[in-house]
Amino acid sequence: MFTGLVREVALLEKIEFEEEGASLQIKMRLPSADLELGASVAVNGVCLTVTSAVPVAGDGSGGAGHCHIVSFFVGRETLARSAFAELKEGDLLNIEPALRQGDPLGGHWVQGHVDGCACVVCWEKQGESQFLTLSLDAPLLKWVVPQGSIAVKGVSLTVAEKKPAEGHIVLMLIPHTLAATNLKNLKEGERVEVECDTQVKTIVQTVEHVLPELFRSGDLKALLRSNLAGLSGDV
C-alpha cells in the first residue's frame, strides 16, 4: 500500500523491452531498508518489485549521499495498463516506498494497481496554483467523484471538478506538489497513469453488479421487507 505522497523524483538510467515485458534500472536515493530484495516501490504510481539494488557513489544531486541503482521487471499486463511503453532513458519518475505500519497517511489509500491511462488536455494557471484537465474513458470516469481522490502518476490529488459531458476531470496542483513531483513536466496529449479511489470503485461495482443480482433473486426485497417490518414494530 502507498499514500500518493511522492518521496523523490528519480532518474530512469536504463530501460530494455523484451517479449515478456521490460526491465528498468532507476537511480534513486531511498534508504536501503526500503529497497530490500522483493520490496514494493511505486514508480509513477505503479507498484513494482525490487529485483536488485546496487549502491553507487553520489546521491543523484551531485552530493555523496546514499544512492542505488534499483532494478525492476515490468510484465506485459502492466505495460498495457500504464504509459511505461513510452518511457525513455533520462525520464524522471515519481517514487514512493511501500507504507510501513505506523507511517502517517497523508494522502489516500493507493494500491499501486493502476486502472489505466488518462490524457492531458490542458494546463490553466490561476494565481500560484495550476489546474490540470485530464480526459478519461467512460469506464474510468464513473469511478471519479468531485472532491474525491485520484492518483495521477502516483500523486494523490483531489478532484476539483468533474465534467461528464466532455469526459474530463479538473485537478488543482499547489506549488509544493509541482515542485516535488514530475507532474510539472506534463505536456498536452501525454498519457498518464491513473488509479481511482478503491472505496469508490467498490461502491460503484457493488451497485452495478451485486444489487441487481440481489433484486433478481428476491433476496434484497426480502431483506428490505424484513427491516421495514422491524421498524414498524419498533414504532
Per residue in 83-127, pLDDT tens?
A: 999 999 999 999 999 988 877 777 788 999 999 999 999 999 988
Per residue in 133-169, pLDDT tens?
A: 999 999 999 999 999 999 999 999 999 999 999 999 9
Topology (CATH) of 8-97: Elongation Factor Tu (Ef-tu); domain 3 (2.40.30)
**Where do the structural domains in the chain lie, given as residue ranges?**
8-97, 116-200
Question: Are the CB atoms for 150 and 171 separated by under 8 Å?
Answer: yes
Place of cell 515485458: 21
Q: Do 116-200 and 8-97 have the same topology in CATH? A: yes
Output the nine-digit C-alpha cell for 207. Answer: 451497485
pTM for this predicted structure: 0.85
Instruction: Report the distance separating Cα 5 and Cα 55, nearest Å.
Output: 24
Cα–chain center distance at 134: 14
CATH top-level class of 116-200 = mainly beta
Residue 226 pLDDT level (bands cut at 50, 70, 90): low
Place of cell 478519461: 136
